[in-house]
Amino acid sequence: NAGVTQTPKFQVLKTGQSMTLQCAQDMNHEYMSWYRQDPGMGLRLIHYSVGAGITDQGEVPNGYNVSRSTTEDFPLRLLSAAPSQTSVYFCASSSLAGVEEGEQFFGPGTRLTVL
Amino acid sequence: AQSVSQHNHHVILSEAASLELGCNYSYGGTVNLFWYVQYPGQHLQLLLKYFSGDPLVKGIKGFEAEFIKSKFSFNLRKPSVQWSDTAEYFCAVKGGAGSYQLTFGKGTKLSVIP
């Protein structure tokens, strides 16, 4: 099992550009989520999904879109990048029972810089 | 809305010293509480969790935490730290059954000096 994979590992964007951060898991987990991690701010939930076709907003959804067309993939789209979106982005997945237990599996992260 | 407060931004200890990291939460109902650890350059791992029952929970690597409902606290402790415990520690709270949103504190960076 590869676990949770994220691509790219690093990305530099210019203000106004759009891009998609990829996240995939091979554990057949129903639950997937995106967090951003900023210094001194901890992790903040952007969007999450409890199954294919079902997504919901977290704490900081503005400027981001998600979709869940398959169980395996949960891409995060930045529609028009802003410097405030400079951050490290983590994808996580879990079974629905597992998320109840806090057993989320985190990916390695994508470090995004917006100039 | 739930929130989590971690009192210390950065803690520096010598090896063998005792550790206590504070965590307070705000939530109006049943809560599940967690501590996660992030070692340098790595992603988050679950350290321990509290759901119900004995308010003193034990986790991996000798860590434990005590849930004090009256104080809305879930402090992390370790009797004797090692250099390998150098990491960032995050307290997190989730609502009860059927809730999927995990709210994290801002984190406490622990530096252990050999």
Contact A102 B92 (CB under 8 A): yes
- Are B9 and A40 in contact (CB < 8 Å)? yes
| pLDDT tens figures, B72-102 | 999 999 999 999 999 999 999 987 767 778 8
CA–CA separation, B90 and A18 (whole Å): 31
Closest chain B residue to A111, measured at CA: B41
Q: In this predicted model, what pLDDT tens digit does every residue of A73-97 receive, in sequence order?
A: 999 999 999 999 999 999 999 888 7
Calculate how close chain A gets to B5, using CA atoms only, in Å: 11
pLDDT of residue A100: 67
d(CA B14, CA B82): 8
Q: Give per-residue pLDDT as tens, A23-57.
A: 999 999 999 999 999 988 889 999 999 999 999 99
Coil, helix or strand at residue B59:
coil
Whether the pLDDT of residue A12 is over 80: the answer is: yes
